[in-house]
Amino acid sequence: MALPPKKICDLVDQSEGGTLDIPEFQRGFVWSSEKVKNLIDSLHRDYPTGLILLWSRPDYFSPRTAIGTQEPKLWIIDGQQRLTALCLVFGRKPYWWPDSGKWNNFDNKRL
């Protein structure tokens, strides 16, 4: 089932709030600052930047949340690097980011 297009700010909000999450088989954030800059440049120029592929599985739970307290999530199967980069640009730590200290280090470079 295809979801309607979403605005970038809505995706960032959902990333921070935990509605969007990454499955544990996804790698961590590996993009360089140059790749983040190129993504923003492509968005500014209205170039294609790729899709974000989301997966709905109500029976697949996050290992970061206690069972029974979880809300339905959409799992990011493709586009996690782009979405994490957008969160970084907006200064909003995504739900799946494990370490606040490391996030703050990235965030300070943004400023």
pLDDT band at 100 (very low <50, low <70, confident <90, very high): confident
Q: What is the pLDDT of the chain when averaged over all its residues?
A: 84
pTM of the model: 0.81
Q: What is the pLDDT of residue 66?
A: 47
Q: Tokens in use for 91? A: 């200064």
The residue whose two tokens read 């999530």 is: 73
Q: What is the pLDDT of residue 65?
A: 53
The residue whose two tokens read 């400023």 is: 111
pLDDT digits (tens, 9 = 90+) for 14-42: 999 988 998 888 888 999 989 999 999 99
